[in-house]
Amino acid sequence: MVEKLLTKLRGKDYRAAYRVIPQLCRLDDGSLAAVVASYKPKDDQRRFQFEVARIALAEGIGGLTARWLSLGTEEQRRVLLQEIGPDWGDEWMVEIAIAALEEPDDKVRGYAVLCAKNVIAGKSVISSEQRARITQGLVRAMARHNERPLELFWLPWYVELLGLTADASDELVIARLERLRPFSGASRRTVFEKLDPDNLPWPHNVLAEKKGVRVVATVSYLGTGLLEIELLETSLRQIRARKPQAG
């Protein structure tokens, strides 16, 4: 079994390699770190796979998160975050997400937000201390876009996740979300356009003829660029209703 896992770790399929790392860690075999360290990578991707596996095996989740920002490239870490799922276990997923909330790149950090949201929304039990650390990481990231908050990549996920982690004692979080009101509203608007069924523009004329229907109007939904006000209100209600808990 061990050799089968190591073979996948050495392979070109990075998704399979990432899935076996937590499986190798659960074997609790101290010699595996040295085995992985002896491998000669054939390319940069496998060099990264081996580095992540070696640190995880030798130092556990603490070592992996402490070194997170120095692992590989931003792109390699982004892809790894995309692949971290249930195989890694809730504890590792949460701790990696917390570490990755310090990513300097908005897009890479966005996948950390998604990773944390998936764990919490899945009803997994995490400590109040972890919730607080997630909240702090989110606030630090949002502070980088104080003047233009809508430029923060995946801002709605930040707002949604704060609604799942912050509590009524987090007055600064509540104040920060309240400051988003001028940038919120309906995130989509409905556009109704009346058409002349005898003189339809392309591609409506082609579709109408193909389906044998008479088109008299179109309805489309366009993004407004605003933060959805219902999402903001929901998160604020959740935070104000959540009582502070001891660790």
pLDDT tens for the 247 residues of the chain, in order: 899 999 999 999 999 999 999 999 999 998 999 999 999 999 999 999 999 999 999 999 999 999 999 999 999 999 999 999 999 999 999 999 999 999 999 999 999 999 999 999 877 789 999 999 999 999 999 999 999 999 999 999 999 999 999 999 999 999 999 999 999 999 877 777 887 778 878 887 877 788 888 877 877 777 789 999 999 999 999 999 999 876 5
Question: 217-246 burial, b if ≥16 CB within 10 A, otherwise e?
Answer: eeeeeeeeebbbeebbeebbebbeebeeee
**Residue length, the chain?**
247
Strands (E), the chain: 184-185, 188-194, 217-223, 227-228
Q: Are residues 195 and 235 in the same domain?
A: no
Q: Are residues 89 and 202 in the same domain?
A: no
Q: Are residues 136 and 246 in the same domain?
A: yes
- List the domain range (segments joined by +) for residue 219: 188-223
**What is the total count of domains within the chain?**
3
Q: How far is the C-alpha of 155 from the C-alpha of 226, rounded, in Å?
A: 10
Give the count of beta carbons closer than 10 Å to the beta carbon of residue 201: 10
Predicted structure pTM score? 0.85
